[in-house]
Amino acid sequence: MPDEARPRQQLLRRKPVSAFLADSDQAGGNPAGGLHRTVGTFHLTMIGVGATIGTGIFFVLSTAVPEAGPAVILSFVIGAITAALTALCYAELTSAVPVSGSSYSYAYATLGELAAWAVGSCLILEYAVSGAAVAVSWGQYLNDLTRRLFGFTMPAEIAAPPGHGGYINLPGVVLVVLCCLLLIRGAKESALANTVMVFIKLGVLTLFIAVGVTGFHSANLHPFAPLGFAGISAASSSVFFSFIGLDAVSTAGEEVKNPQRALPRAIIGALLVVTAFYCLVALVGVGAQQWTLFDGQDAGLSAILQRVTGRTWPGAILSAGAVVSIVSITLVVIYGQTRILYSMSRDGMLPPLFRKVNPRSGTPVANTLIVGAFIAVLAAFVPLDWLANLTSMGTLVAFSVVSVGVIVLRVREPRLKRLFKVPGHPVVPALSVLCCGYLITNLPADTFILFAGWMVLALAVYFGYGRKHSRLAATEAAAAPLEPAPAGGSAGLG
């Protein structure tokens, strides 16, 4: 092979699906060295719901409604349609490649090593930044709850997001530390705690819908789209941030019982629950309060209930629900991040420290502590609006790759066992790519600049470390025949 062709081939080398499945089976049969299969379908569905519901409802409405007006309902519908198209693609790939690593693993099996690294970098950005964004908002809801119950609030300098009156967000740091401690105990314990918190948040949102609908006035829906379709489009890109939890399900591939059946069922089930609650809460919210009042309304849904009832107790309950909700989101986001890094490390793309698993708890302890420290720093010092938009960018890029991966894998491995297939292939995956691309174009220019900077850094790490330490590269090198020495030359020095 010509020397100039080798670097290009190395960037495009793919890890076979059989190799992924072999890694997963080997880890599962070796509890001392791999993750433990302890999570069932129901708890897995709750992981998807827990990572998703909360970010859109308890945080994004206060920024999305001023962009779109009452038509923010349509923004959620657009986001849900995009998420549904992508969720179907995830469901097929999880049934065919039921391993940890989410979009990173799927890209490695279909598009090649460089694409996989880029997607893995997007996932790192998505999970780390979204975890920080949610953790940042926890201090606001904690302050709202303590003010309603005890008349006490923490100073804005240590509780508000940087750039919004705060200098360092201590509650966000504390939340990340607590979640890391729970994750270190084990995946089963973390999944159970998340399920309890999900039921609490769903109960609180049901209360909001029941109470908020009593203050519903159709006049609040007029004008329905005061900022036109441009406003709806801008808000749809923002609210898509609230659908990122669905892909968290796919990061648990090696800790799930019967993953080929459980993973697609959990993804689709979580999508249905999430979409129903989002649309109902958005409809009740804009119907119970004029859209112009959402701008700068930190308390969000709590303020709406207080306005409707004239009493403080519904708002206090909702604030308590928001506090619990954000804990569950942060927990699952950190969990997903560590499993992606675990998969990348197992492939040799990151240092071995990230794949080291504690034999007693079956969790990557050092990995969890590193991720927690990184997210805590982001939550403490980075402005909230930067975090939200960067999360949307990373999510949309990863979703696009998954949709392309479905098409590629159907062509390359048509006989691969799939317990779920995307209906309407290849139209549905193609529509998913187009929808994701459309939402990306609506993100602000500074998000593209920050994202480009992140990708430059990621590529520098790949060419400096990942490419040289790739397991796939080592396997290919061991299997390659030795090249003959040049004619008339010597193999030795001198």
pLDDT at residue 29 in the model: 47
pLDDT at residue 406 in the model: 92
Residue 150: partners with Cβ closer than 8 Å, 6 or more residues away: none
Closest CA to 127 of 331, 264, 267, 403: 331
Q: Domains in the chain: how many in total?
A: 1
494 burial class (0-12, 13-18, 19+ CB within 10 angstroms)?
A: exposed
pLDDT at residue 36 in the model: 74
pLDDT at residue 117 in the model: 92
Start-to-end CA distance of the chain, whole Å, equals 27
- For residue 352, whether the previous peptide bond is cis, meaning omega lies within 30 degrees of 0, is no
| pTM, to two decimals | 0.81
pLDDT at residue 383 in the model: 66
Joined together, the tokens standing for residue 91 give: 């469901």
Domain that holds residue 135: 15-474
pLDDT at residue 300 in the model: 65
Query: How far is residue 302's CA from residue 315's CA, in Å, rounded to a whole number?
Result: 4
Domain for residue 479, yes or no? Answer: no
CATH code where residue 184 lies: 1.20.1740.10
Domain for residue 485, yes or no? Answer: no
Question: pLDDT of the chain along its 494 residues, tens only?
Answer: 444 455 556 667 888 887 877 876 665 544 445 677 778 889 889 988 988 886 567 667 778 888 999 999 999 888 888 888 888 998 898 888 887 777 888 888 888 899 899 989 888 887 887 788 778 778 877 887 888 888 888 887 777 766 667 677 888 889 999 999 999 988 888 888 999 999 998 998 898 899 889 889 899 999 999 989 889 988 887 787 677 777 788 887 778 888 888 888 999 999 999 989 988 988 998 998 888 888 766 656 777 877 787 777 777 887 788 888 889 888 988 988 898 999 899 999 999 999 898 888 888 899 999 999 988 888 887 766 666 677 778 888 888 888 999 999 899 888 888 888 999 889 999 999 998 888 888 788 888 998 899 899 999 999 999 888 888 877 766 665 544 444 444 333 33
Domain for residue 337, yes or no? Answer: yes
Domain for residue 492, yes or no? Answer: no
Domain for residue 482, yes or no? Answer: no
Domain for residue 218, yes or no? Answer: yes
Are 291 and 66 in contact, with CB atoms under 8 Å apart?
yes
- Rg from Cα positions in the chain: 23
Domain for residue 382, yes or no? Answer: yes
Joined together, the tokens standing for residue 82 give: 């995009």
pLDDT at residue 457 in the model: 93
